[in-house]
Amino acid sequence: MEARSQSPLLTEALIGGRLLVVPKHSDEIELYGSLEEAEARLAVARNMLAEKGDPETAERLLLVQKALRAVMTLLADPERGRGLVPRALALLLEAARGLAEPTGWSLHGCSPEDAEMMLASTLVRRADRLVSRMAEKGLLDSESAGEASRLLSTISYVLYRLHWSLCRGGGAKKAAALVS
């Protein structure tokens, strides 16, 4: 397939170090779109938290955003991205440091920033499913897909721990009614 297309229904995607021309509705584009949407939602939540006077949680979200960028690099250019995996995991460990482990399920939305953060988490989980699908199709090598999936699962869990912290013990009084 050639690297450029005249069709407005096709676009280019850098996947596994190869520039591909794919339909705009393809799994490849859905994957990158989900990751970009997740990062944007995290930026909204981060800015809301900073404005509310919670710089610690805002900083934690910045670390998560940086780890998410490493996943995008890993998917586009596995050779370069594999070198970023240890740093991304360290960022996620730092983001989760000191957060309580969740002890149950809870409803999302104890605050506007929590809703943004949890929407980002659902987008990350969608991206993880798309990574699996792309590996199955042979578009990603199993090592890169496995590393990306591990990072995405960790990102999702860190976001849940942040949610738990915000809604359970972070001073959100109305959250008590939302947490089981």
List domains and CATH numbers for the chain. 26-177 (1.20.1200.10)
* Residue for token pair 């190869």: 18
Q: What angle do CA 23, 134, 89 make, to 5 degrees?
A: 120
pTM: 0.87
Each residue's pLDDT tens digit, 79-114: 999 999 999 999 999 999 999 888 888 888 899 999
Beta partners for residue 10, in sequence order: 23
Taking residues 119-123, what's their average pLDDT? Answer: 97
